[in-house]
A and B are shown apart, each in its own frame.
Chain A
Amino acid sequence: MKRAVLVALAALPLISVVACKKETATPPSGPAQAGVPPPPPPYQMRPEAPAGDRLAAGRDGKALFEYHCGYCHLVGGMGTNLLTKQQVMAGASPEMGLLANRTDLTADYVTAVVRLGKNAMPPQTRVDITDPELDSVSAYLGKGK
Chain B
Amino acid sequence: MKLTLPPRVSPQQFDTALQAMARVVGKDWVMASDADRDAYADVYAPGPAEQWPASAAVAPASVEEIRAIVRLANEHKTPLWPVARGKNLGYGTSAPRMAGTIVLDLGRMDRILELDPRLAYCVVEPGVGFFDLYEHIQREKAPLWISVPGNAWGSVLGNALEHGIGYTPYGLHARNLCGIEAVLPDGDVMRTGLGGMDNNPAWHVFPMGYGPTWDLAFSQSNLGIVTKAGLWLQPAPAASLELVFDIPEAEDIGWVVDTITPLKISGLIEQNVFVPSWLGKMVLKGQRKDFWDKPSAIPDWRIKELLKQYKLGYWQVALRLYGEESVIKAKAEIVKAAMARNLKDPPQENWWREGDPINAFEITMGVPSAVPLQMSDWIGGRGAHMGFSPVVPATGEHVLGQMRRSRKIIADFDIDFYASFTINGRFANNVNMLMFDRDDPGQIDTMRKLFSTLIGETAKAGYGEYRTHLGWMDSVMDTYGFNDHALRRFNEKVKDALDPNGILAPGKQGVWPSAYRDSAKEGRA
Contacts and interface: CB of A to CB of B under 8 A. Distances in A.
Interface in A116-138: 116-117, 119-120, 122-128, 130
B144 interface: no
Given A78-B369, A120-B383, A126 B374 contact: no
Interface stretch (A1-9, A12-20, A57-65, A96-104): A12-20
Contacts of B361: 18, 21, 40, 76
Contacts of B57: 125, 127
Interface string B355-371: 00111110000010111
A39 B358 CA distance: 10
Given A42-B357, A43-B358, A125 B373 contact: no
B3 to A, nearest CB: 17
B310 interface: yes
B365 to A, nearest CB: 10
A78 B38 CA distance: 23
Contacts of B281: 19, 22-23
A45 B368 CA distance: 11
Nearest to A42: B357
A44 B360 contact: yes
B318 interface: yes
B139 to A, nearest CB: 8
A119 B285 contact: no
B28 A40 contact: no
B131 interface: yes
Interface in A58-84: 70-72, 75-78, 81-82
Contact of A16 (B110, B285, B318, B349): B285
A23 B373 contact: no
Contact of A126 (B39, B369, B370, B382): B39
B373 to A, nearest CB: 5
B40 A125 contact: yes
Given A19-B285, A40-B359, A71-B153, A127 B108 contact: yes
Interface string B32-56: 0001101110010000000000000
B92 to A, nearest CB: 13
Interface residues of A, number: 42
Nearest to A25: B348
Contacts of A116: 38
A115 B231 CA distance: 33
B383 A15 contact: no
Contact of B360 (A15, A41, A124): A41
B219 to A, nearest CB: 23
A118 B59 CA distance: 25
A68 to B, nearest CB: 11
B360 A71 contact: no
A44 B372 CA distance: 17
Nearest to B371: A78
Considering residues A43, A48, A70, which has the most beta carbons from chain B within 10 angstroms of its beta carbon?
A43
B38 A123 contact: yes
Contacts of A39: 359
B347 to A, nearest CB: 9
A88 interface: no
Considering residues A41, A123, A130, which has the most beta carbons from chain B within 10 angstroms of its beta carbon?
A123
A42 B31 contact: no
Considering residues A39, A75, A125, A130, which has the most beta carbons from chain B within 10 angstroms of its beta carbon?
A125
Interface in B26-85: 26, 28-29, 31, 35-36, 38-40, 43, 57, 59
30 contacts: A18-B284, A19-B310, A22-B281, A22-B316, A23-B246, A40-B359, A40-B360, A40-B361, A43-B359, A72-B370, A76-B361, A78-B371, A81-B374, A115-B39, A119-B376, A119-B382, A119-B383, A120-B376, A123-B38, A123-B39, A123-B43, A125-B31, A125-B39, A125-B40, A125-B57, A126-B39, A127-B31, A127-B105, A127-B108, A128-B107
- Closest 4 pairs between A and B when the two form their complex, measured CB to CB: A76-B360, A127-B107, A40-B359, A122-B43
Interface of A: 15-16, 18-19, 21-23, 25, 28, 39-46, 48-49, 55, 70-72, 75-78, 81-82, 115-117, 119-120, 122-128, 130
